[in-house]
Chains A and B, each alone.
Chain A
Amino acid sequence: MPSGEARVILRVAGIRKRFGGVTALDGVDLVARAGEVHGLVGANGAGKSTLVKIVNGVYRPDEGELEVDGRPASFASPREAREAGIAMVYQEFSLIPTLSVAQNIQLGREPRNRIGLTDETELRRSAARILGDLGVAVDPDAPVGRLPVGVQQLVEIAKATSVGPSLLVLDEPTASLSQSEVEALFATIRRLCERGVAIIYISHHLAEVRKICRRITVLRDGRTTLSGETAGFSLDAIIEAMTGRVVAEVAARAAPPDASDRPPVVELRGWSLLNRLHGIDLSIRPGEIVGVAGLLGSGRTSLLRSIAGLEPAVRGEMRVAGRPVRITSPAAAASHGIAFVPEDRRREGIITGQSVQANHLLSTWGTLTRRFLVDERAALLATRSAVDRFGIRTSGPAQAMEQLSGGNQQKVVVARALARSPSLLLLDDPTTGIDIASRRELLGHLRDYADAGGAALIVSSELDELGGIAGRVLILSRGRVVRQLDRAAGEVLSESLLHAALHAPDAHPGHTG
């Protein structure tokens, strides 16, 4: 990264934007310099997306100035922004899965031969050059749909930067990437910086932001609350700027002292699923939070899904409260007191187009009846009390679910799972894509649930989170438990220890990432 004050590519000053009665941006400033990565962080709803959409020409500001390369700019459309050298990579990819990498990169700008047809040779050659410049090792002829998500992300960036922009905006680029894919992404970002491209990097991952971003701007409720060189701020300072308050970290603690005396909530023996799980033994006691760490493909999601009744082909012995059971559907799991919070909130967690209440009480309607009809008063009370207890920011139980921020949606999903008073709660990466305040609140509720005697099995890619909340962490690799770290055995479940365990060579025989 270049030192000193580099050339200013983008200057945003005093931007205001209102939607109806809601103020989305209330005087935001931001300066992006050539060859620098600028982190843009804030809780869900802070105004990051609105700001980026103004920079990208989707919205026009009500007030304030926009300068690109020292000249005042005003974009009526994303196309005008693109022509001014601003490129955007959204969370949802704009790639067409059936086309090749080369075709995608130059979609709509294919080189032509003399008779006006696509010049395939030139198409491939220029795509290879663009990819080579970014240090992306991928076959230009490969259909994009067959590539891992991380590589698709790099192809998306190659597509956005192939027109030679001076500013690149990356929105939550690591949301679905594995650790090694994140490293590859960072390498590509550094190459772009060397070329003098200014980068705005939006992310919830403060650790990543602190690693890759030279400067940082924090937004809260449409205002800039913190701005400057990243190195000058502590993590807590950034979190406070995001949330406006000091959010205490959920204190680490040992497994409940009497845990070992009580019978296990769930016990697995020789739990196996073809090619994915191999003879896992596990027992979880009341009041215990067990963490599962593993890379993508380690079987961590399969483990949860199989306990939740979503993998009927699973083999092995399962006991619930000491009694052998066979669970072949989520409904059967629910009747044994097992609740599941899936990983993909959008596709498997929430019902868009329906109310917060409909989402919350999804699985509890049957218990909220009086003479066969839904007891509306009881239902309303149930949702209101969940909204209060979980601190869900909503205008009320009737608000449409999609109007809530991601963190609040996830709180509704967890509240739903807890509404049935489960004895075992299965959570698959419950805090991905959620701002840090909501994340800590969610973990606090999980802790309360465990304190009240509930048991939980939680998969997470956030190792600091696992280390903080779990009394015991299983390291999963290729469908086997390769190590178990237990707080009760005196082990400190620090992020670095878990990281080392997860990436130890013996933990992944022949693992290629």
Chain B
Amino acid sequence: MPTGDGAATPVAPVRPGARWRFASVRPDNLIVYIGFLAILAFFAITLGDRGFLTPENFANIARQTAMVSIMAFGMTFVLSSGEIDLSIGSVVALSALVVAVLLRADLPIVVAVAGSLAAGLLVGLANGLLTTRLRIPSFLVTLGTMTIVVGAARVLTDLEPVPVTDRTFAFLFGSGTIGPVPVLLIWTAAALVIFHVLLRRTPFGRQVLATGGNRAAARYSGIRTDRIKIAALMLGAATAALAGMLYAGRLQGARYTLGEDDLMTVIAATVIGGTSLFGGRGSIVGALVGSLLVGMLNNGLLLMGLSVSEQLIARGAIIIAAVALSLREGAP
């Protein structure tokens, strides 16, 4: 608007930003929850007799979506800071292989996990440094590192899958259940709380959103925007490394193809959840809902008896619709 004529703009209802507890259920995320419930209701009605509504099936969905959810939390930080990370799928494969190889060498679990996490963080650091120091868009940087890391993962074991025989690791990272609760659900819940608090309630989270919202304004006000972006990319890579370890634990083995198909699912889940592709706006709870929505979709379409090809077509169409709704609702 040319002269910024305030009176001409209908004043929107005040968001309950002061009451932070509701901050992630702001009106601009509402459509995601409605869509989620609509799809849930649709499958509940049409697939009620095929076991969709059983607790086992929901536990199944939770297990299947855990890795995507956790990576979506990391991706929320990356996108919120105004960057993108295409290398997460390759980090999944690399970190899964690293942890499997270290365990095979009979190293303690702590060392193996630390080694795997370090590999992921290293990729994140490289992404961050290349993006901020050389001023190459992260889209291109991570496109490059993705290829490099995929290659590294293939070289690491010469394309051989590596079994994970350590039962404790397998239990802790993926296969176990505590009572009726799958360990993967606990990982997801813990990550949800940590990342939500990190984004919404710490100065770091606010600085990430400020940097992604307007880098110049944030920088001129004294925020070290380069460090913020590096940290966000490292967080993203760390969640991918964790996801890689969870895959290794759940499947009791690692392979260079792990995580291949996850990148687009993670980005779709994050954006459906109300995080802007262009930075400055992000929601961890939304990312979880987005991820569950996609997971439920996969599960429901499978139960409906669709062929793999039909599933792909239906899934793509629904994801486009969900993202469109989410973007429309979130527009300022």
Contacts and interface: CB of A to CB of B under 8 A. Distances in A.
Interface of A: 19-24, 44-50, 53, 90-92, 171-172, 202, 221-222, 308, 310, 329-331, 333-335, 339-340, 342, 347-355, 357-358, 361-363, 365-366, 368-369, 372-374, 376, 380, 393, 395-400, 402-406, 408-409, 416-417, 420, 433
Nearest to B212: A351
Interface residues of B, number: 41
Contacts of B15: 355, 398
A231 B3 CA distance: 25
A374 B158 CA distance: 48
Nearest to A384: B18
Interface in B220-246: 220-224
B10 A397 contact: no
Q: Which of A45, A353, A365 has the most CB of B within 10 A?
A: A353
A372 B202 contact: yes
B307 interface: no
A405 B6 contact: yes
Contacts of A393: 6
A409 B214 CA distance: 15
Interface of B: 1-12, 14-18, 20, 197, 201-203, 206-207, 209-210, 213-214, 216-224, 276, 280-281, 332
A373 B201 contact: yes
Given A46-B7, A403-B11, A330 B202 contact: no
Contacts of A349: 217, 220
A51 B16 CA distance: 33
B4 A44 contact: yes
Contacts of A365: 203, 206-207
B18 A342 contact: no
Given A47-B7, A358-B210, A353 B280 contact: yes
Nearest to B276: A353
Given A44-B4, A400-B12, A406-B3, 5 more contacts: A20-B11, A45-B6, A171-B3, A353-B276, A398-B16
25 contacts: A19-B10, A24-B5, A45-B5, A47-B5, A48-B5, A49-B1, A171-B2, A308-B220, A331-B223, A340-B221, A342-B216, A348-B216, A349-B220, A352-B214, A362-B217, A373-B197, A373-B201, A373-B202, A374-B201, A374-B203, A396-B14, A400-B332, A402-B332, A403-B12, A405-B6
Nearest to A59: B8
Nearest to A17: B8
Contacts of B9: 19, 22, 403
Contacts of B223: 331, 362-363
B234 to A, nearest CB: 19
